[in-house]
Amino acid sequence: MNAAVDLFKTDSQGSRLEALNAWVAEVAALTQPDRIHWCDGSDTENAALVRQMQADGSLLPLNADTHPNSWLHRSSPSDVARVEHLTFVCTPQQEDAGPNNHWMAPAEAHAKMDALFAGCMRGRTLYVVPYCMGPIDSPLARCGVEITDSPYVVANMRIMTRMGAAALARIEREGEAGGAFVKGLHSIGELDPDRRFIMHFPGELTIKSYGSGYGGNALLGKKCHALRIASHQARSEGWLAEHMLIVGIENPQGETHYIAAAFPSACGKTNLAMLIPPEGYRQAGWKVWTIGDDICWMRPGADGRLYAINPEAGFFGVAPGTSQKSNPNALASIGRDTIFTNVAVTEDNQPWWEGLDKRTPKRDWQGRSFDPVNGPAAHPNSRFTVSARQCPSYSPRAEDPQGVPISAIVFGGRRASLVPLVFEARDWTHGVLVGAAMGSETTAAATGAVGVMRRDPMAMKPFCGYNFADYFAHWLSFDQAGAKLPKIFHVNWFRKGDDGQFLWPGFGDNLRVLEWMIKRVKGQAEAVETPIGYLPDADTLNLQDLSLSDEARVKLFWFDQEGWRAEFDGIGQFLAEFGARTPQALKDEQRRIAALLAG
């Protein structure tokens, strides 16, 4: 293999970690690229990549007056979302991956992937992308290197991670001290859905992804590293890698409490991360600070509290539904320097998607003249990639190397019935059970059946890199002497009335619930003890300027004992799916609450 090395720059890369050099050489021998480029993350390099993609038509300029330095990428119509059924966790023993993951033996997985990678980069450039997940100087951060043949991936990784020379320097420093980095190998291959796999080797800190150029399948720092590999790494190192937003709530006294929250898809995660307070709260001096909208890494600090960082540097957000009404901060973030993927465009070449406004687009996400008979103009999973720093509510502590202290952890799903607006777990063990049992009801549009309940523990079902039973045990292990753990809450913004309409207004008014949580953390709010946890009554929350029906006041702030009895029977059956590894403490907690509900 005689690949040329092109740096797009004149300065020397300096010394490189021996292990990294050896791996790059090994991959180059297998994939046989025409050129090798070590990415430094510079503006000059990015401009060259953008020119290259514009020249080959893979990146299209958008309206420079309305969206300066913004671009549209159209992926293959067969490559538009994560492929969970083709995503594997490869551990020596299948039970270590657990029933929550697709499993393949490591030797078999390596052989399958290496056969696909053989010669796949002929005629292409191999990009070496060093990156850091988390603030570059944070002890909570972890580094990786992605090798890819996609300049689109490079451009996105530059936004989503701390990518380039600084990350490479940290990898070198840690390598000298015996530290390891996550190795991710990616190729778009032929974009053939029948030759598409994503393999994770947690014990080797390795990811191999072939056949997709899209999102979490290709940006290996995101779900693959920051959740699947990191969750395994966190278990061995004593921290947590979670599918959670991090938001700071500043009260009129100037105190800021940080909340981490886990929600499955379509449950308002990004909206909560970028929440804008209701008018009365804004006038009173409340502020909301965005740390992150998707992933949270937490580690116990010297004072016993959990401290969190957002390992990402950008947002890879779903475009449809994002509007001035639903999330004005997100919309303001993407007015410039943004990569849009699979959105539609208007007559004057502005990005457009369903839910944005009343305009009619000119071309759909596949570049065709828009015709409603072809379906939505923007793909339902179309995305925007943008730096978190462009968010108007971006927190000045987002780059804090030590992270921010977490006062509360929130779990929540989409439940049209049964589950009240908010309740607080009795203690840490109960809170872990609440997270383990959380779930959402599906809709007809998604599955063809309405109201099907799917358990999604801690919103990690697609992302936990090992057996859920061991994951629950890891969560329980943080309850030790001297620990000052966050209170755990559960919310449900989606309770419906008899008329099928939502009972709670949601969006900015969710701050009313967060205020109650903070008061509970500080010991300043009352609650009613029930078998399922501590509930506020309607008079405990600040409902000023809200008009709630009598039905809403009952269903949002109380619980149906008979319905919860059936729910806990279902929770017991769910825990049983994980067999003997399920922590006894969780089984005991489920039985304790079930007995109270039966009484």
Is 223 labeled as ligand-binding?
A: yes
Count CA atoms closer than 13 A to 221's CA, side-chain side: 34
- 243 a known binding residue? yes
Helix 584-598 / helix 561-576 crossing angle, nearest 10 deg: 160
Distances (CA, A) of 423 to 431, 532, 540: 10, 8, 12
Full DSSP string of 4-43: EE--SSSS------HHHHHHHHHHHHHH--SEEEE----H
Q: Alpha-carbon dihedral of residues 90, 96, 102, 104, nearest 10 degrees?
A: 40
Q: How far apart are CA 355 and CA 357, in angstroms?
A: 6
425 is in an annotated binding site: no
CB burial readout 129-140, b (16+ within 10 A) else e: bbbbbbbeebeb
Residue 267 catalytic? Answer: yes
Q: What are the two backbone dihedrals, phi and then psi, of residue 82, each rounded to the nearest 5 degrees?
A: -65, 150
Does the annotation flag 210 for ligand binding?
Answer: no
Does the annotation place 266 within a ligand binding site? yes
Are 460 and 262 contacting, i.e. CB atoms less than 8 angstroms apart?
Answer: yes
Dist CA 31 CA 35 (whole Å): 11
For 425-470, list the strands marked E by DSSP. 439-441, 453-455
CA distances from 7 to 50, 125, 128, 129, 158 (A): 15, 11, 10, 12, 16
Measured distance CA(238)–CA(354) in Å, rounded: 43
Instruction: Quote the tokens at residue 213.
Output: 């150029």
- Per the annotation, does 112 bind a ligand? no
Known binding residue 301? Answer is no
Q: For residue 466, say whether it is annotated as part of any ligand binding site.
A: no
Is residue 10 annotated as involved in ligand binding? no
294 marked as part of a ligand binding site? yes
Say whether 572 counts as a known binding-site residue.
Answer: no
267 known ligand binder? yes
In the numeric block, which tokens belong to residue 530? 């029930």
Amino acid code (one letter) for 398: A
Residue pair 207/224 in contact (Cβ under 8 Å)? The answer is yes
Report whether 63 contacts 350 (CB < 8 A). yes
Residues 78 and 19: their CA atoms lie apart, in Å, by 36
Check whether 271 is labelled as a binding-site residue.
yes
Does residue 132 sit in helix, strand or coil? strand
Quick one: DSSP state of residue 118? T
Check whether 510 is labelled as a binding-site residue.
yes
* Rounded distance between C-alpha atoms, residue 513 and residue 330, angstroms: 22
Active-site pick, 39, 90, 224, 267: 267
133, 230 Cβ separation under 8 angstroms: yes
CB atoms within 10 A of CB 317: 22
490 has binding-site annotation: no
Q: Is 161 in contact with 133 (CB distance < 8 Å)?
A: yes
Burial of 8 (0-12, 13-18, 19+ CB in 10 A): middle
156 labeled binding residue = no
269 among the known binding-site residues? yes
The answer to whether the annotation marks 523 as part of a ligand binding site is: no
Is residue 145 within 8 Å of residue 33, measured between CB atoms? no
From first CA to last CA, the distance across the chain in angstroms is: 73
Q: Does residue 273 contact residue 333 with C-beta atoms inside 8 Å?
A: no
DSSP annotation of 496: B
> Per the structure block, which two tokens stand in for 396?
């000045």
Return phi, psi of residue 272, to 5°.
-70, -40
509 is in an annotated binding site: yes
Phi-psi region of 439 (alpha: psi -120 to 50; beta: other; left: phi over 0): beta
Binding residues: 82, 214-216, 223, 243, 265-271, 294, 381-383, 414, 507-510
Binding site residue list for GTP: 266-271, 383, 414, 507-510
Question: Can you say which residues are annotated as belonging to the binding site for Mn(2+)?
Answer: 223, 243, 294
Q: Which residues are catalytic?
A: 267
Known binding-site residue numbers for substrate: 82, 214-216, 265, 381-383
